[in-house]
A = this chain, B = another copy of it.
Amino acid sequence: MPKLVDHQERREALARALWRVVDQHGWTKVTMREVAREAGVSLGHLQHYFTSRTELLTFAMDLTAAQTGDRITRALAALDQPPHPRDVLRLVLAEMLPLGPEARASSRMRAAYVLETLHDPALREQAGLGLREGRAMVESLVRQAIAQGQIAPDRDPDVETDLVLALTGFAPLLELEVIEPQAALAAVDQHLDRLFAAAP
């Protein structure tokens, strides 16, 4: 199906033009007109692939999420198999924080997307779904570790899941250089060490 593949590739190229606009000029410049200009195409051409700004943003965010997922999958494959749940959580958190160029781009896209959803119910629904899936994945790792005795049985899996997710809160502090990458990773490690402390 070369036509469908071309269509997808074209859409990905346009989404990357959106990212370049975000990176170079900030979120305020993310209009259909500006993305078309950055991609070197006409507004009509862009509108052929994305009928609305919401559709373009949703596609760009899905692509960001897929690329973050790919990075995590590749890094997981490099761990001892089966990987220890602590290592999986550390790896996921490290990929969610703006510590390298790709992760930084994804992190900025996510932060901008959250703000955008506050004024767009369709985007908000979509973003909520994605984040709830991410939360469910972390929760299942925590529950599995409790069942296997790697996390003490008196830990509340819901609270522990939320406390792991809170560590993504280092993203803005890293962006503004309030904390250093090493300090963020040391804090992540400290938190995970306590979570996975030997059951009593």
Pick the contact of A169 from B112, B116, B132, B167 — CB < 8 Å? B167
Pick the contact of A187 from B117, B163, B175, B186 — CB < 8 Å? B163
What distance in Å separates the Cβ of A152 from its nearest Cβ neighbour in chain B?
A: 12
Q: Mark A125-136, 1 if CB is under 8 A from B, else 0.
A: 001100110010
- Tell whether, in the assembled complex, residue B156 and residue A190 are in contact, meaning their CB atoms are under 8 Å apart: yes
Q: In the bound complex, what is the Cα–Cα distance between A184 and B135 (angstroms)?
A: 13
Q: In the bound complex, what is the Cα–Cα distance between A168 and B176 (angstroms)?
A: 15
* Interface residue A48 (Cβ < 8 Å from any Cβ of B): no
* Interface residue A173 (Cβ < 8 Å from any Cβ of B): yes
- Give the dominant DSSP class at A's interface: helix
Q: In the bound complex, what is the Cα–Cα distance between A172 and B131 (angstroms)?
A: 10
What distance in Å separates the Cβ of A109 from its nearest Cβ neighbour in chain B?
A: 10
Which of A2-10, A19-27, A63-71 touches B?
Answer: A19-27
- Tell whether, in the assembled complex, residue A115 and residue B176 are in contact, meaning their CB atoms are under 8 Å apart: no
- Tell whether, in the assembled complex, residue A131 and residue B162 are in contact, meaning their CB atoms are under 8 Å apart: no
* Interface residue A124 (Cβ < 8 Å from any Cβ of B): yes
- Tell whether, in the assembled complex, residue A176 and residue B128 are in contact, meaning their CB atoms are under 8 Å apart: yes
* A binding-site residues for B, Cβ under 8 Å: 24-28, 30-31, 108, 110-112, 114-120, 124, 127-128, 131-132, 135, 156, 158-159, 162-163, 165-173, 175-179, 183-184, 186-187, 190-191, 194
Q: List the 5 shortest-distance A-B pairs measured between CB atoms, nearest first.
A: A169-B169, A26-B119, A162-B187, A166-B169, A131-B178
Beyond known contacts A131-B173, A135-B178, A159-B187: 10 more, CB 8 A cutoff: A114-B176, A118-B175, A127-B176, A131-B178, A135-B179, A158-B183, A159-B186, A162-B186, A169-B169, A169-B171
